[in-house]
Amino acid sequence: MPSPRQTQSYLIQRFQEAGVKPQTRHGQNFLIDLNLLDLLLDTADLGPSDVVLEVGTGLASLTARMAELAAAVVTVEIDPRLFQLASEELSAFDNVVMLQQDALKSKNHMHPAVLDAIRAKVAEQPGRQLKLVANLPYNVATPVLSNLLSIEPLPVSMTATIQKELADRICAAPGTKDYSALSIWMQAQCDIAIVRTMPPQVFWPRPKVTSAIIHIVPNPQRRAAIADLPHFHHFVRSLFLHRRKYLRGVLVSMLKGRLERTDVDALLAAFQFSPDVRAEQLDVPTLVALADAFRQAASTSGIATDP
């Protein structure tokens, strides 16, 4: 079955036939530049051992093309109207699992039904691996990319269209305005590349922002260097709630009731920081080492590191 060509005229016709309109609240902006759609697929490099997770089925143009390349596609669409239209487009494919629901249980967790569907498809054949490939709705891009680094099976890659502003935050360097807990969480575990930036006119309807194709590959060595991923995640997020305050004061306040001031000072002395250092100035390897030092100190004291 040939894949439908997701041009602007095709989309407008399908929406008019169905008597529906794209919904801004669901982030429904469809990629209509076919060369960029090809670039997204080429970057994902799908093969017969891949199980693909797609968040945002839309009208299933990308879904159908991926189903022709991969072992299976698990695609998630929150909008019941688009789910019905996509079901018609995908009726000939027996390797597509369609879910009409939110991909997220909460901002910090993927939905269990999505994880169950992924795991079932990966388990069907030895050697299967998970990849995310999606034109991600802007309103869920951050939690989807972040949460997928905490699941099993871990994706071997994530290739997606997202807001360029988000791509810049993920790739940001220490000391810049975009450097954040998300930057550190992603960079501490992954190799990341912005493949292409995209102007609003390559989408329909046009968003008000510039977008980007991002390619994220988890790095086993980097992940292995983090002794406790949940603790590291919590530590960095807590630290960056006050990123511009002096590091010592933030740590003393953050760890009150768990470590004494003298313990904090002793740990910081080993890093030889200047007295006025701030969290936003520290690079990723330093923050990984700092989080683990405080984890070990709290563990030695017999007090849990996370509330």
CATH number, domain with residue 202: 3.40.50.150
Residues 183 and 90 in one domain: yes
**What CATH number should be reported for the domain holding residue 257?**
1.10.8.100
In a domain, 55, yes or no: yes
d(CA 280, CA 278): 5
Residues 25 and 158 in one domain: yes
Token pair listed for 108 = 């910090």
Residues 199 and 242 in one domain: no
Residues 276 and 216 in one domain: no
Q: Does 112 sit behind a cis peptide bond, omega within 30 degrees of 0 on the bond before it?
A: no
Residues 121 and 84 in one domain: yes
Nearest CA-CA partner of 205 in 34, 32, 4:
32
Residues 136 and 165 in one domain: yes
Check if the beta carbon of residue 3 is closer than 8 Å to that of residue 66.
no
What residue numbers bound the domain in which 25 lies? 8-220
Say whether pTM exceeds 0.85.
yes
Q: Which tens digit of pLDDT belongs to each residue from 90-137?
A: 999 999 999 999 999 999 999 999 999 999 999 999 999 999 999 999
Token pair listed for 111 = 């939905």
- First CA to last CA across the chain, in angstroms? 53
Residues 199 and 129 in one domain: yes
Boundary (domain end) residue, out of 188, 220, 252 = 220
Q: Which tens digit of pLDDT belongs to each residue from 28-46?
A: 899 999 999 999 999 999 9
Residues 118 and 249 in one domain: no
Q: In which residue are the tokens 């036939």 written?
A: 17
Beta strands in the chain (DSSP E): 30-31, 50-55, 72-77, 96-100, 104-106, 109-110, 129-135, 157-163, 190-198, 203-204, 211-218
Residues 106 and 47 in one domain: yes
Task: Give SS3 for 246.
Answer: strand
Residues 62 and 209 in one domain: yes
Q: Which tens digit of pLDDT belongs to each residue from 161-200?
A: 999 999 999 999 999 999 999 999 999 999 999 999 999 9
Q: Which tens digit of pLDDT belongs to each residue from 221-261?
A: 999 999 999 999 999 999 999 999 999 999 999 998 889 99
Residues 91 and 207 in one domain: yes
In terms of DSSP bridges, do strands 109-110 and 129-135 run parallel, antiparallel, or are they unpaired?
unpaired
Torsion of CA 155, 160, 166, 171, to 10 degrees: 60
Residues 215 and 145 in one domain: yes
Q: How far is CA 26 from the centre of its chain?
A: 17
d(CA 146, CA 142): 6
Nearest CA-CA partner of 214 in 272, 143, 286, 135:
135
